[in-house]
Amino acid sequence: MMGASAVSTVLSGARVVLPTGTVENGRVIVAGDRIAGSAPEDAPVVDLSGHWVVPGFVDMHNHGGGGASFTSGTPEEVLRGVRTHREHGTTTLVASTVTGDLDELARRAALLAELVQQGDLAGVHFEGPFISPCRKGAHKEDLLRDPDPAEVRKLIDAAHGTARMVTLATELPGGLDSVRLLAEHGVIAAIGHTDASYEQTVEAIDAGATVATHLFNAMPTLNHRTPGPIAALLEDERITVELINDGTHLHPATVELAFHHKGPERVALITDAMDAAGFGDGTYHLGPLEVEVKEGVARLVEGGSIAGSTLTLDTAFRRSVTIDRLPVESVVQAISANPARLLGLYDRVGSLEPGKYADLVVLDAEFGLKGVMRRGEWVVDPRA
């Protein structure tokens, strides 16, 4: 916690989004690395009139950025990707892997775990190899495997307590037992890259699954006679659904459908970003697969499947408010508070409340990013 001698700064005049609603002409007091309840009379003031101040974004599904891969990069490259996303408002980030050899994934988890322990990452998410070959997306098919609980346990053990989520096709042999194992160890079991029926999805939820990995993508479409996983995931209040709101993965009407059925408290906006996020078009690799990025859309060179995104969460925020016409308060829930709660971090991040880290984003009147603060330090200074 902050000490009595922590230097205070007052951010004043903005529309400040709090858990209780938006405060006009509000202020946020920063003391050291925390949000404070009061400030000395002589504390410096930063005038943010005409702006919004919202909590720092929390991305629970992200494979890289800034030209760097969380799946294969060196620690220095991973940190470059983290910095890229911080400059776009993501002050808390979970590193996601993609399908690979099990021993290789275990080594990768150990490397990422060190960065979690240093405070640079918020945890590790394993997306694959325990997914359906029918819905593999940008995952190498010959490396996929059924979710054997012993192998799932090997990966979470390799992360040394930093594993936060594992995406599974829960209909595969061992799927339900793996969900139960993850629940017992406090790791999120996420249903995704799945070919499950409605009934199989309900079974997985009853077994302890709590998240839908990028809802609508890499799963059967909603059908009036065979509703499949989407209906089960939308209707159950125990499930939080991830959405990739980049304009490529989902139509605006689909985003609206998810918010309407789940409510803003059961949606988590994610990037599912790969190396090209914040970097540009070109040829990249997602795990062992070659990816070509054109006009910001990432697709596999072989087969043309969408291969993650080049999204950053400031763009997702702006789209959600200006294109999808969602209330700012609902978007803040989905992009900050909800993922923070799921990750067990809401006592530290996810809202602007005294005692929490001073992680915040400053947006202009058109919801363009103007400033980012993390742990009380400006990453992007709105005064520059």
Query: Phi and psi for 109 in degrees, rounded to 5?
Result: -60, -40
Can you read off the two tokens belonging to residue 177? 């037992």
| pLDDT of 4 above 70 | no
| pLDDT of 222 above 50 | yes
Please provide the average confidence, as pLDDT, over all residues in the chain. Answer: 96
Cα gap 90→113, rounded to integer Å: 19
Residue 288 has what pLDDT? 85
Write out the catalytic residue numbers: 272
Can you spell out the DSSP letters for 38-75? ---TT--EEE-TT-EEEEPEEEEEE-EETTEETTT--H
Residue 6 has what pLDDT? 78
Residue 5 has what pLDDT? 55
| pLDDT of 92 above 60 | yes
| pLDDT, tens digit (0-9, with 9 covering 90-100), for 115-163 | 999 999 999 999 999 999 999 888 889 999 999 999 999 999 999 999 9
Would you call 21 exposed, middle or buried from its count of C-beta atoms within 10 A (0-12, 13-18, 19+)?
exposed
| pLDDT, tens digit (0-9, with 9 covering 90-100), for 299-318 | 999 888 898 999 999 999 99
As beta bridge partners, residue 127 has: 167
What are the chain's domains?
Answer: 8-54+350-380 (2.30.40.10), 57-342 (3.20.20.140)
Can you read off the two tokens belonging to residue 141? 């098919």
Q: What band does 3 get if pLDDT is binned at 50, 70 and 90?
A: very low
Q: Give the distance from CA 12 to its chain's centroid.
A: 29
Q: For 77-143, give the secondary structure using H, E and C.
A: HHHHHHHHHHCCCEEEEEEEECCCCHHHHHHHHHHHHHHHHCCCCCCEEEECCCCCHHHCCCCCHHH
| pLDDT of 270 above 80 | yes
Task: Provide long-range contacts, Cβ within 8 A and 24+ apart, for 288-293.
Answer: 288/100, 288/140, 288/143, 289/138, 289/139, 289/140, 291/138
Cα gap 2→126, rounded to integer Å: 34
For the entire predicted model, the pTM comes to 0.96
